């Protein structure tokens, strides 16, 4: 029996995968589920989960983090602990995809603790899986394997085939990083069988790409290229930009191996462009490294060194020591080729020491070659011979490893054949038992058929009538609830109740209301540089964040007018400290815009800066319209608040003397007096900039 929650999750996931298989996701239909407050909480949370993972996580990790944050808040209010754990795991993956390992580990650990505490098996397994993947990237293979094994045990217990396949693939990649290609193939074959059974194109693309890497590693570019091209095609079909970028970089690396450097660079730079757009630091580092190798092979040493240093800077930030050792060695080789043997010796020695520290034999062997060339160039023959001897010892060790791997491969094939025979025997035994059971049941079944048919007709008639009654009642209740939720979505609760009770809502006077206006700087000029879709998407992200902020501070959103946002505190009922709440909300809104600006300014996306104005005073509030209701406010206070915004400065919150008097004694607030400033239509007004201490 599949739990109700899982059935709904599987339905949404199936719809997503169906859309992905034809290269497009019907994002509007999924988004409409979580946006509408009329839907059930779990339905909304499921839609947010899949929107953030399928639509955002691989291509826009920033947006995935923000949506997961909303998901966490909604789940916390609804006391849905499992969804909170899911949201934390998504946020961890968002940090991981952006190369922030420490933050990713913290979020994964929080998700794991919450999942274990609530008995959420899938969340526990997935958190162990994510932590294992993170440790594998860091070269902490034993810790990674421990987490992978914990995850696998639970995945198998809950029969989660897709995640079992993903886990097999990640374990295979871990063994590849360790140079154990037999184990790598073993796990790739396991996951490929499951992906093909499920028709999972993303999984098949991933395995195809990795198989290409394996063949390339063995020097077989003829077999590697079709795998890379197939991987790119499958990733493109499912809209997986990160996978497409990986395939492009691998193809470029392959062409460089063949010596066709210009063609290689075309693929490398296409991949790099996609990585930069995605904000994928690890992918960018890989591209810079491969481009550096390309330039080095052509003797373009300045260009090579520039790209090596870019890669090294990111790898050091991520703490990926194995790759850092490789880059040290590559820079050392480059210096040797230039005849700068002292500098080469320094870099080669750094590579050698780090490779020994992490136990990376192949990297140590390459560092020995690098040191041999450096000492030879400096004329220190005794040292050169010492590292040549060490290189020979390591080569013998690796050959011994290859013999061991060949023997392992033979044994593995034996096991595969034995397992196949056992599966056939088990299958035959089950079929024989089934035939015997069918024959026995048939004799008993015939006696019951006559009575059963009569009872069935009666039951069907009664059930049909009952179902019709229930369905009609459910439709009526659903429509009633939907209408009420829609009303609450556009009107304050008190006003909506009055409207439902009396058919109208009277306008009211409020003596102490604090009004907030925000406006985007240069929105028209920004609109000329980007498509309407990009612009509205970015504006939507900002306004969703504003909605959450004003709601948390018990402020009423009035409306949006283009790129302007209007809200008020102290309505539809007076609230203590409403002026302070509005100013605190304004500070958070400016902080969000500033953070968002820094995140998007290098990504060729719309980025905004904002002015905010606040004023306190008397307003009239009520409903306008007969068909499309809107709750609105009027009065000189509204106009003055608007002038506060237009008379302010970008990045600041400009408040009037009246608002200042309400909050001046609050210890958190910091004020900068602007004196009397001319405001259009208002003359000279005392104004202040405000922020938190």
User: What pLDDT shows up at residue 675?
Assistant: 93
639 or 473: which leads in pLDDT: 639
Across 242-263, b (16+ Cβ under 10 Å) vs e yields bbbbbbbbbbbbbbbeeeebee
User: What pLDDT shows up at residue 138?
Assistant: 80
- Stretch among 103-107, 289-293, 508-512, 622-626 having the lowest mean pLDDT: 622-626
| Distance of alpha carbon 428 from the chain centroid | 46
Bridge partners (DSSP) of residue 685 are: 677
What's the pLDDT tens digit per position in 465-505?
666 566 656 655 655 555 555 555 556 666 666 666 555 66
User: Residue 19's pLDDT band (boundaries 50, 70, 90)?
Assistant: very low
pLDDT reading at 584 higher than 60 = yes
pLDDT reading at 603 higher than 60 = yes
| Distance of alpha carbon 690 from the chain centroid | 35
Q: What tokens does 244 get?
A: 């497409």
Residue 88: exposure state from Cβ atoms within 10 A (0-12, 13-18, ≥19)? buried
CA nearest neighbour of 661 among 671, 653, 652:
671
User: Residue 301's pLDDT band (boundaries 50, 70, 90)?
Assistant: very high
User: Residue 640's pLDDT band (boundaries 50, 70, 90)?
Assistant: very high
DSSP 680: T
Distance CA 624, CA 221 (A): 71
CA nearest neighbour of 52 among 78, 81, 8, 83:
83
Helix (H) or strand (E) holding 314: helix 301-318
Q: What tokens does 384 get?
A: 């050169």
Coil, helix or strand for 681?
coil
pLDDT reading at 438 higher than 50 = yes
Distance CA 282, CA 599 (A): 17
Instruction: Identify the residue whose tokens are 């004023």.
Output: 615
What's the pLDDT tens digit per position in 33-87?
877 788 888 888 988 888 888 777 666 778 888 888 999 999 999 999 999 999 9
User: What pLDDT shows up at residue 374?
Assistant: 92
User: Residue 15's pLDDT band (boundaries 50, 70, 90)?
Assistant: very low
pLDDT reading at 692 higher than 80 = yes
25 or 329: which leads in pLDDT: 329
Residue 458: exposure state from Cβ atoms within 10 A (0-12, 13-18, ≥19)? exposed
On whether the CB atoms of residues 252 and 264 are closer than 8 A, the answer is yes
pLDDT reading at 630 higher than 80 = no
37 or 110: which leads in pLDDT: 110
On whether the CB atoms of residues 122 and 158 are closer than 8 A, the answer is yes
Cα–Cα separations (whole angstroms), residue 580 to 571, 658, 669: 14, 12, 9
The stretches of 119-220 forming alpha helices (DSSP H) are 121-137, 141-157, 161-177, 181-198, 201-217
pLDDT reading at 413 higher than 60 = no
Question: Per the confidence metrics, is the pTM higher than 0.75?
Answer: no
Coil, helix or strand for 521?
coil
CA nearest neighbour of 571 among 517, 662, 493:
493
Distance CA 167, CA 44 (A): 28
Q: What tokens does 394 get?
A: 């390591």
Q: Where are the domains positioned within the chain?
A: 1-119, 469-506, 508-692
Does the domain at residues 508-692 carry the CATH identifier 3.40.50.300?
A: no
pLDDT reading at 436 higher than 60 = no
State the SS3 of 37-64. CCCCHHHHHHHHHHHHHHHHHCCCHHHH
What's the pLDDT tens digit per position in 258-291?
889 999 999 999 999 998 988 888 889 989 999 9
Mean of pLDDT over the chain? 81
The CATH architecture one would assign to domain 1-119 is Alpha Horseshoe (1.25)
What's the pLDDT tens digit per position in 121-166?
999 999 999 999 999 878 788 899 999 999 999 999 988 888 999 9
Distance CA 450, CA 435 (A): 24
Distance CA 165, CA 155 (A): 10
Average pLDDT over residues 187-214: 86
CA nearest neighbour of 346 among 337, 361, 355, 336:
336
What's the pLDDT tens digit per position in 553-573?
989 998 888 788 999 999 888
On whether the CB atoms of residues 26 and 50 are closer than 8 A, the answer is no
CB count, 10 Å around CB of 589? 22
Strands 610-624 and 630-634: antiparallel
State the SS3 of 228-249. HHHHHHHHHHCCCHHHHHHHHH
User: What pLDDT shows up at residue 536?
Assistant: 82
On whether the CB atoms of residues 92 and 84 are closer than 8 A, the answer is no
User: What pLDDT shows up at residue 496?
Assistant: 62
Q: Which residues fall within 8 angstroms of residue 259, CB to CB, at 6 or more apart?
A: 297
User: Residue 415's pLDDT band (boundaries 50, 70, 90)?
Assistant: very low
């Amino acid at each position: 029996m599949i739990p109700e929650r899982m059935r709904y999750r599987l339905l949404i996931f199936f719809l997503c995968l169906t859309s992905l298989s034809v290269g497009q996701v019907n994002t509007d239909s999924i988004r409409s589920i979580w946006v509408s407050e009329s839907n059930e909480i779990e339905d909304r949370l499921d839609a947010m989960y899949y929107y953030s993972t399928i639509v955002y996580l691989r291509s826009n990790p920033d947006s995935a983090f923000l949506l997961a944050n909303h998901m966490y808040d909604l789940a916390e209010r609804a006391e849905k602990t499992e969804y909170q754990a899911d949201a934390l795991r998504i946020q961890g993956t968002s940090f991981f995809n952006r190369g922030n390992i420490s933050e990713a580990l913290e979020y994964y650990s929080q998700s794991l603790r919450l999942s274990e505490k609530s008995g959420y098996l899938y969340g526990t397994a997935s958190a162990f899986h994510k932590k294992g993947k993170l440790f594998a990237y860091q070269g902490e293979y034993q810790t990674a394997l421990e987490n992978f094994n914990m995850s696998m045990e639970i995945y198998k217990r809950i029969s989660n085939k897709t995640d079992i396949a993903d886990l097999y693939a990640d374990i295979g990649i871990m063994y590849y990083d360790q140079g154990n290609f037999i184990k790598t193939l073993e796990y790739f074959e396991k996951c490929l069988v499951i992906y093909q059974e499920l028709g999972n194109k993303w999984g098949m693309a991933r395995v195809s790409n990795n198989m290409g890497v394996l063949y390339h590693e063995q020097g077989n570019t003829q077999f590697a290229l079709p795998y890379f091209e197939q991987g790119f095609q499958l990733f493109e079909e499912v809209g997986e930009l990160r996978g497409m970028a990986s395939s492009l970089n691998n193809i470029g690396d392959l062409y460089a191996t063949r010596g066709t450097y210009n063609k290689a660079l075309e693929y490398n730079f296409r991949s790099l462009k996609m990585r930069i757009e995605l904000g994928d630091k690890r992918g960018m580092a890989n591209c810079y490294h491969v481009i550096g190798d390309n330039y080095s092979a052509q003797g373009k040493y300045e260009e090579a060194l520039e790209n090596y240093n870019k890669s090294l800077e990111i790898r050091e930030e991520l703490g990926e020591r194995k790759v850092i050792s490789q880059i040290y060695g590559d820079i050392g080789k480059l210096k040797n080729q230039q005849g700068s043997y002292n500098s080469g010796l320094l870099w080669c020695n750094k590579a050698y020491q780090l490779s020994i520290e992490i136990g990376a034999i192949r990297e140590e062997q390459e560092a020995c070659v690098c040191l041999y060339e450096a000492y030879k160039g400096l004329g220190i023959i005794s040292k050169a011979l010492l590292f040549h001897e060490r290189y020979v010892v390591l080569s013998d060790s690796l050959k011994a490893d290859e013999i061991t791997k060949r023997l392992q491969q033979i044994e593995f094939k034996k096991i595969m054949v034995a397992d196949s025979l056992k599966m056939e025997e088990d299958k035959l035994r089950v079929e024989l038992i089934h035939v015997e059971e069918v024959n026995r049941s048939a004799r008993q079944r015939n006696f019951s058929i006559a009575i059963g048919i009569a009872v069935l007709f009666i039951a069907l008639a009664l059930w049909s009538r009952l179902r019709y009654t229930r369905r009609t009642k459910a439709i009526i209740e659903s429509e009633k609830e939907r209408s009420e939720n829609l009303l609450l979505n556009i009107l304050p609760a008190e006003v909506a109740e009055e409207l439902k009770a009396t058919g109208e809502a009277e306008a009211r006077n409020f003596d102490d209301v604090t009004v907030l206006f925000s406006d985007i700087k240069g929105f028209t000029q920004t609109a000329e540089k980007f498509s309407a879709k990009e612009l509205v998407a970015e504006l939507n992200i900002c306004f969703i964040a504003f909605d959450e902020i004003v709601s948390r501070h018990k402020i009423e959103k009035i409306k949006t007018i283009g790129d302007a946002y209007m809200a008020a505190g102290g309505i539809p009922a007076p609230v203590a400290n409403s002026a302070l709440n509005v100013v605190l909300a304004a500070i958070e809104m400016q902080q969000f815009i500033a953070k968002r600006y820094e995140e998007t300014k290098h990504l060729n996306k719309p980025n905004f800066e904002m002015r905010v104005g606040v004023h306190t005073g008397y307003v009239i509030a009520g409903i306008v319209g007969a068909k499309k209701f809107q709750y609105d406010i009027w009065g000189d206070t509204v106009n003055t608040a608007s002038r506060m915004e237009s008379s302010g400065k970008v990045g600041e919150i400009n408040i009037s003397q009246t608002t200042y008097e309400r909050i001046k004694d609050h210890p958190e607030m910091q004020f900068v007096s602007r004196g009397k400033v001319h405001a259009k239509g208002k003359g000279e007004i005392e104004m202040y900039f405000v922020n938190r201490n």
